[in-house]
Amino acid sequence: MGAASPAAGMPPVQKKSHKRAVIIGICVAGVLVAGGAALALTGVLGPLGQGNSSQITVLGSDEGSGEHKDKGSAKEKPAEEQEEPEEPEQTGSSVKVDLNDQATYAATNLFLSNFTEEDFGYNKNDPSSLFDVTDGLSAEEQRDMTFFIFNHFLDNGSKRVERGSDIGGKRYGFKIAIDAVHSEMNRLFGMTLSDDEMQFDDNEGKYDEVIQALGTRATVQDGYLYFNEEHGVAKIAVPAIVTAAEDLGNNTYRLTFEAYVAQSYNGGPSPLVSDVPESVYGLPADQLKATIGVDSTSAMSGTAVVKVAAGDGAPAFALQSINYD
């Protein structure tokens, strides 16, 4: 495993055929113009950092937890005098996630919608390919984080995406400033990857010259993440609605969610997550579904474990793991 550098802290995801369209050559401009025209960027990605949900202050701030205390600071008793260890008391988290609070409810829905929109970690044919940072990151998970963050920018912050270039005889159609990548990766995962950890080539060792030229790959050069995807992105938003929050202690929660395909918003076409104001994510489930034009059948459901930090008005979250039913 590569060593991830905490910022406070799968086999490749199968794509749904209806959500990807083949790009021939390097027809980038049309994608960028269409994706960016409706976005008003503030902060890192503007609408994805709406309100308080992007204000991460401290991740894992429970410094008094047993795992952080010095061990062996007191002399051990002789074996015959040792007492039976007491069961640790479960005191709960200091940062509360109350779904009855509208701002908190909106923040949880908006946060998880970033991942369900991109199908991050979703592979119903391979339940073992789940993202889980708590046991360290595999090379596949590092690749999936990098792949996710690129499409996340392309869909919701396309003004940050620039035209790439050929490097070492291989095509990289796009590039994103590495500082922006690190900032958004930290906001969503509570960590960043090193330059080496963000480099991959899905077609390494393959002999088809066309595939070698157009394949999916990433590299970091001169302050940019360069990325090429063999397929373009034709997104259908899949916003999440959180139905339960279980306190696991140490400012960690398990969120149960359902996700629905959005058909329209304000009379327009299917929206991206960033097209919908945060206030909409705070509506009761039935009203939220009606506002973004979904039917009563969820597209997917599951649980996500998140680390929680105090925010300005609502908690902020960093994804630890995600699991789909």
For every residue of the chain, which 3-state class applies, written as one string?
CCCCEECCCCCCCCCCHHHEEECCCCCCHHHHHHHHCCCCCCCCCHHHHCHHHHCCCCCCCCCCCHHHCCCCCCCCCCHHHCCCCCCCCCCCCCCCCCCCCHHHHHHHHHHHHHHHHCCCCCCCCCCCCCEEHHHCCCHHHHHHHHHHHHHHHHHHCHHHEEEEEEECCEEEEEEEEHHHHHHHHHHHHCEECCCHHHCEECCCCCCCHHHHHHCCEEEEECCEEEEECCEEECCCCCCEEEEEEEEEECCEEEEEEEECCCCCECCECCCCHHHCCHHHHCCCHHHHHHHCCCCCCCCEEEEEEEEEECCCCCCEEEEEEEEEC
Q: Which candidate, 253, 192, 251, places its Cα nearest to that of 44?
A: 192
- Decide: 198 and 192 in contact? Cβ < 8 Å: no
Residue 85: which pLDDT band, with cuts at 50, 70 and 90? low
- Decide: 305 and 248 in contact? Cβ < 8 Å: yes
Q: Which candidate, 293, 301, 297, places its Cα nearest to that of 243?
A: 301
Is the confidence at residue 30, as pLDDT, over 60? no
Mean confidence (pLDDT) of the chain: 75
pLDDT of the residue at 211: 55
pLDDT of the residue at 264: 82
Tokens 């995406």 found at? 161
d(CA 48, CA 119): 16
pLDDT of the residue at 272: 84
Contacts of 232 (CB under 8 A, 6+ apart): 20, 21, 22, 23, 27, 31
pLDDT of the residue at 83: 63
Residue percentage of the chain with pLDDT more than 70: 66
99-146 pLDDT per residue, tens: 999 999 999 999 999 999 988 987 766 656 689 998 899 999 999 999
User: Mean pLDDT over residues 55-69, rounded?
Assistant: 32
d(CA 3, CA 139): 10
Indicate the range of 41-55, 218-232, 296-310 predicted with least confidence.
Answer: 41-55
Contacts of 291 (CB under 8 A, 6+ apart): 265, 280, 283
Is the confidence at residue 274, as pLDDT, over 80? yes
Which of 290 and 232 is assigned the larger pLDDT? 290
Query: Residue 303 forms beta bridges with which residues?
Result: 256, 323
